[in-house]
């Protein structure tokens, strides 16, 4: 190995270490749990989701201002029994109902639950990453919830409709009531479960990936006829 190559390798290593030191990345892993009552019985579903933040580089603010967020995991699915399934979506969908306002992005839900506001600081992210809380579990307020969609037929994606958790008895049927949703910081691994619970999910996810549906930069949450996409149920870049 030549001396020049060793010097070059060392220089690259120093630059990489310097960048990581001045522009660190942060990660927080949490479990989202949703509880719904059906005819007096509580049904629950949960999913482990990892959110990551990259410190903004002032040299590139003209290209991408602010923090970059990404996340891994899948939507929470609550099996309601005969009525069908309820999904807590990970993203604001492309196609939504004009009657339901946009929900908060996932990272804002996490920040507001633990700090009371959506502002991002290094200190807050260090606290989340290090789980520096006497109580690592938070109950989400009704104004700090993700989007929800309901499928009356788990085998048929076209049966999906947007629902407001405050009015499940109207949207789904009498006896159905939203109970609560919680976030809890965790070290548990992410489990990818939707392919086993939604028969159409795997094929749709592959189709959307091959055709560029759901890539970053496309408009999301446009009023119109609701259509559930696989991309609304999985992680990505925010």
Question: What string of DSSP letters covers 160-183?
Answer: EEEE-GGGHHHHT-TTEEEEEEEE
Inform me whether the pLDDT recorded for 4 exceeds 80. Answer: no
- Joined tokens for residue 103: 């929900």
> Is residue 31 assigned to a domain?
yes
User: Which has the minimum average pLDDT: 3-7, 36-40, 60-64, 128-132?
Assistant: 60-64
Give the C-alpha distances (Å, rounded to integers) separating 9 from 3, 6, 198. 10, 5, 48
Binned at pLDDT 50, 70 and 90, residue 58 comes out as: low
Write 191-194 long-range contacts (CB < 8 A, 24+): 191/47, 191/48, 192/74, 193/47, 193/74, 193/77, 194/74, 194/75, 194/77, 194/233, 194/234
Domain extent for 218: 24-237
Give the C-alpha distances (Å, rounded to integers) separating 112 from 106, 179, 190, 232. 10, 20, 22, 21
Give the C-alpha distances (Å, rounded to integers) separating 77 from 74, 89, 110, 228. 9, 9, 19, 14
3-class DSSP state for residue 84? Answer: coil
> Is residue 163 assigned to a domain?
yes
- pTM given for the model: 0.82
Q: Residues in the chain, how many?
A: 238
> Is residue 2 assigned to a domain?
no
The pLDDT of 134-156, averaged and rounded, is 92
Q: Find tokens 């109580």 and name the residue.
A: 135
User: Which has the minimum average pLDDT: 7-11, 90-94, 198-202, 226-230?
Assistant: 7-11
- The domain tally of the chain equals 1
If one compares 56 and 145, the residue with the highest pLDDT of the two is: 145
> Is residue 33 assigned to a domain?
yes
Average pLDDT, the chain: 81
> Is residue 1 assigned to a domain?
no
Inform me whether the pLDDT recorded for 220 exceeds 90. Answer: no
Helix axes 122-129, 106-115, angle to 10 degrees: 90
Question: Please, are residues 185 and 28 in contact by the beta-carbon 8 Å criterion?
Answer: yes
Q: Find tokens 């109207």 and name the residue.
A: 170
Give the C-alpha distances (Å, rounded to integers) separating 34 from 17, 136, 184, 210, 217. 41, 17, 12, 32, 29
Give the C-alpha distances (Å, rounded to integers) separating 111 from 85, 104, 114, 115, 122. 27, 11, 5, 6, 12
> Is residue 133 assigned to a domain?
yes
> Is residue 10 assigned to a domain?
no
> Is residue 13 assigned to a domain?
no
Q: At a CB cut-off of 8 Å and minimum separation 6, what does 8 contact?
A: none
State the burial class of residue 208 (Cβ atoms within 10 Å of its Cβ: 0-12, 13-18, 19+).
Answer: middle
């Amino acid at each position: 190995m030549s001396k020049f190559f060793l010097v070059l390798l060392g220089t690259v290593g120093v630059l990489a270490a310097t960048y990581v030191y001045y522009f660190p990345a942060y990660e927080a892993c949490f479990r989202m749990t949703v509880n719904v009552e059906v005819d007096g019985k509580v049904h629950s579903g949960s999913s482990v989701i990892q959110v990551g933040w990259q410190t903004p580089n002032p040299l590139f603010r003209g290209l991408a201002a602010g923090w970059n967020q990404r996340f891994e995991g899948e939507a929470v699915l609550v099996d309601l029994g005969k009525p069908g399934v309820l999904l807590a979506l990970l993203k604001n969908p492309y196609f939504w109902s004009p009657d339901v306002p946009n929900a908060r992005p996932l990272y804002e839900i996490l920040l507001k639950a633990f700090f009371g506001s959506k502002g991002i600081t290094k200190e807050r992210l260090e606290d989340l990453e290090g789980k520096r809380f006497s109580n690592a579990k938070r109950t989400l307020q009704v104004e700090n919830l993700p989007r929800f969609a309901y499928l009356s037929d788990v085998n048929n994606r076209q049966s999906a409709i947007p629902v407001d958790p405050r009015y499940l008895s109207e949207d789904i049927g009498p006896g159905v009531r939203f109970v609560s949703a919680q976030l809890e910081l965790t070290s548990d691994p992410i489990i990818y479960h939707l392919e086993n619970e939604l028969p159409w999910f795997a094929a749709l996810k592959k189709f959307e990936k091959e055709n560029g549906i759901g890539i970053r930069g496309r408009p999301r949450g446009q009023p119109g006829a609701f259509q559930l996409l696989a991309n609304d149920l999985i992680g990505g870049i925010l």
